Amino acid sequence: MSAELIELEEEEHTSQLTAPTFKRILGLLRPHWRWMVGFLFTIALTAGLDALFTYINRAIIDEGIASRSIPLLVRFATYYGGLQLVQAALVFGFIYLAGVLGERIQYDLRKAVFEHLQNLSLSYYSQNAVGRLMARVTSDTGRVSSLMTWGLLDVTWAIVSVISSTIFMLLINWKLALIVFGIIPILLIIAVNFRKKILVEFRKSRRANSKITGEYNQNIQGVRVVKALGREDENLNEFSVLTDNMYSASYRAAWLSALFLPTVQIISAFALGAIVWYGGLESVTAGFSVGNIHAFVSYLTFMIWPIQDLARVYAEMQHSIASAERIFKLLDTQPEVQNRADAIMAETIQGEIEFDHVDFYYEDRKPVLTDLSLKVRPGEMIALVGPTGGGKTTIVNLLCRFYEPKAGVIRINGRDYTDYTLQSIHSRVGIVLQTPHLFSGSIRENIRYGRLDASDEDVEAAARIAGAHDFITTFEKGYAQDVGEGGNQLSVGQKQLISLARAVLAKPEIFIMDEATSSVDTLTEALIQRGMEALMADRTSFIIAHRLSTIRRADRIVVIEDGRIAEMGTHAELLKSHGHYYRLYTQQFKVEKEKAYGVAVPEVVPVIK
């Protein structure tokens, strides 16, 4: 699912603030409480001062102009100017304080979530798509931090504005003030309803938008098929349905928004009319001044803006709380595989490895491995073969202790491997996966990932062993060559050679290859083969492979089918018995030979290009 869709889906969730969540949110603020107090104080003061400006203007009218006193005027002007400077300082204060605090909270949260993610087990990763985890770290943290800064700021500003306007209005004329308060509930109801409607349309338009992007994507990727089938006109017709939907939704959202403010203004105009009418009458009987009326009109706007804005803030708040809950849930997740309390460092894991009646399943009732027993002598090379989904990779996952057996025991050197710390097992296992994974950065950095303190010479030596040195030196920058995002500047074969070099550099005690040659060309395959052999010399190794020459060299071949060991033995033994391995071998043999003789083309090349 695309990141955008995940985002959309999760945005639907809203949540009410509960006491425990509130407490935890506050807990995030604790280290920075000074910043928070600072911005709350400055925004409150700003909102309060806003009301004072109006009060000064009232004084200019009623006292300065009416009494025709220039000195009074100058005095008020000085107040006004001074206040303006103070106000500017306050504005600087709250933008800076709230903004930086927001960035800081986001920084803190991302750090915490990332660090926690590092400790979570592979099972967590297999249950949660990468897109979703990305959303936890990026958008959820953003939403929480803006709730705690700009959200809080809006609320404070609204409350102080409303209160100070109320006070000033009551001070000037309580009867008029009551008229104004009469329209507030109406405004609130309208604002809330509008927001809801606009939000619905806005979501529709975003959903339509992500569909449009998806359609673009597909049509561009499949453009050759489209052309071959001559389907351009139909495609355009279908696409224009999507853009029509997008149009309706976003047009509706846009004009609803355009309707909202005028509605608020018209309603408040009734209050304005009432002020003018009543104030005008009062002015004759009770000496209600122009300044007062002017002030009232201003205070009216001070009240209306925050109130109509509150509906937005409230809606955002509910989403942010849902975000906070998702983050807290992630932080509360315990890693499924973790060190036992009394775990010890393994001195070495180079000894005997034993799977003793091991059961494993990822989901309940769907057994992947059943009662699997296997003893591996130190230095032995084991080839795991069998159909896809039979459980080969699971065996590797268990061996690396990415997962732990659900029943049965895995022993290393005769001791249950959960007695050891994870670190001491992981740091001694070298693994090369089917799809090589590289990180952005140089080739050197990627190889050095295997052993961080390795010198440049060590890196190069490892690359030589892995057979990667030759192609690396053809690059203009050699080992300093950038591999691009996820290594996308390199071919799959090159990436695989680098990941092999990385494993070589790590000097592992157990070496694992998971179909590492299945998606590379023949030449690279031969290189990998050589590198592998160097690496496997006197190491315990587990190889999942298709290539016959690799399998044949194994000390023992284990055929895994439906989570059980179907056959086990040497190449010769297994061929003799004419079983699973025999069938697998003869089929594979033809394919490989054809490839080797250049008769069959192994890779999928699109016909239309």
Partner 1 sequence: MATIAPPSTYFDFRRAQTKKKLVGLWRMMADYRLAYLAANLSLAVSALSKTLTYLLLRNFADTVVGNLEPFAGTLTRTLVWIALGFVGLATVEGGFAFVSGRLASYAAEGITRRLRNFLFDHIQRLSFAYHSRTPTGDLIERVTSDVDSVRTFFNDQAIGVGRIFLLFLINFVAIWQLSWKLALASVIVIPIILVVSVWFFKRVTQAYEAYQEQEAKLSTTLQENLTGVRVVKAFARQGYETDKFEKDNWEKFLRGRKLLRMHSLFWPLSDILCGFQMLGGFIFAAVLAINGEITIGTYPAYVGLVVWLIWPMRNLGRIIVNTSTGLVSYERLMEIVKQEREPLTDGTIYPSGSVRGDLVFENVSFQFEDGNTDVLKEITFHVRPGQSVALLGSTGSGKTTLVNLLPRFHEYTDGRILLDGEELKEYPREILRQQIGIVEQEPFLFSRSIRENISYGVGRQVSDEEVERAAQAAAIHDVIQGFPDGYRTLVGEKGVTLSGGQKQRVAIARTLLKNPRILILDDSTSSVDTETEAEIRAALNRLMENRTTFIIAHRIQSVMNADLILVMDKGSIVQMGQHKDLVAQDGMYRQIFDIQTRIDTELEEEISSAQ
* 98, 150 contact by CB (below 8 A): yes
- Are β-strands 540-544 and 510-514 bridged in parallel, bridged antiparallel, or unpaired? parallel
Q: What are phi and psi of 276, to 5 degrees?
A: -65, -45
User: Judged by CB, which is closer to partner 1: 133, or 463?
Assistant: 133
Alpha-carbon distance values, 465 to 257, 461, 470, 504 (Å): 66, 6, 11, 8
* 7, 139 contact by CB (below 8 A): yes
Which region, judged by CB under 8 A, interacts with partner 1, from 113-121, 151-159, 523-531, 536-544?
A: 113-121
33 binds partner 1, rule: CB under 8 A: no
Q: Which of 18, 127, 193, 265 binds partner 1 (CB under 8 A)?
A: 265
Residue 382: burial class (beta carbons within 10 Å; 0-12, 13-18, 19+): buried
Residues 332-391 that bind partner 1 (CB under 8 A): none
User: Judged by CB, which is closer to partner 1: 267, or 526?
Assistant: 267
- Nearest-approach distance from CB 212 to partner 1, in angstroms: 7
- Nearest-approach distance from CB 539 to partner 1, in angstroms: 15
- Nearest-approach distance from CB 594 to partner 1, in angstroms: 7
Residues 449-508 that bind partner 1 (CB under 8 A): 449-450, 452, 485-486, 499, 502, 506
- Are β-strands 407-412 and 510-514 bridged in parallel, bridged antiparallel, or unpaired? unpaired
Structure token digits, residue 346 = 């393994």
Which region, judged by CB under 8 A, interacts with partner 1, from 191-199, 312-320, 532-540, 591-599?
A: 591-599
User: Judged by CB, which is closer to partner 1: 469, or 571?
Assistant: 571
Q: Which of 8, 17, 52, 117 binds partner 1 (CB under 8 A)?
A: 117
Which region, judged by CB under 8 A, interacts with partner 1, from 177-185, 312-320, 355-363, 590-598?
A: 590-598
Give ∠ CA 592-598-600 in degrees, rounded to 5.
65
- Nearest-approach distance from CB 487 to partner 1, in angstroms: 9
423 binds partner 1, rule: CB under 8 A: yes
- Nearest-approach distance from CB 509 to partner 1, in angstroms: 13
User: Judged by CB, which is closer to partner 1: 71, or 414?
Assistant: 71
29 binds partner 1, rule: CB under 8 A: no
192 binds partner 1, rule: CB under 8 A: no
Alpha-carbon distance values, 342 to 90, 172, 277, 346, 353 (Å): 56, 74, 83, 12, 21
Q: What are phi and psi of 350, to 5 degrees?
A: -85, 5
429 binds partner 1, rule: CB under 8 A: yes
* Strand-pair partners of 564: 561
User: Quick one: the chain helix, strand, coil %, rounded to 5?
Assistant: 65, 10, 20
- What is the rounded distance in angstroms from the CA atom of residue 485 to the CA atom of residue 104? 27
Residues 127-146 that bind partner 1 (CB under 8 A): 130, 133-134, 137-138
259 binds partner 1, rule: CB under 8 A: yes
- Nearest-approach distance from CB 247 to partner 1, in angstroms: 4
Q: Which of 8, 17, 45, 73 binds partner 1 (CB under 8 A)?
A: 73
- What is the rounded distance in angstroms from the CA atom of residue 263 to the CA atom of residue 162? 20
User: Judged by CB, which is closer to partner 1: 230, or 414?
Assistant: 230
| DSSP letter for each residue of 239-287 | HHHHHHHHHHHHHHHHHHHHHHHHHHHHHHHHHHHHHHHHHHHHHHHH-
Residues 286-315 that bind partner 1 (CB under 8 A): 289-291, 293-294, 297
Q: Which of 9, 244, 347, 470 binds partner 1 (CB under 8 A)?
A: 244
Which region, judged by CB under 8 A, interacts with partner 1, from 324-332, 344-352, 410-418, 570-578?
A: 570-578
- What is the rounded distance in angstroms from the CA atom of residue 30 to the CA atom of residue 36? 9
User: Judged by CB, which is closer to partner 1: 321, or 450?
Assistant: 450
- What is the rounded distance in angstroms from the CA atom of residue 19 to the CA atom of residue 209? 37
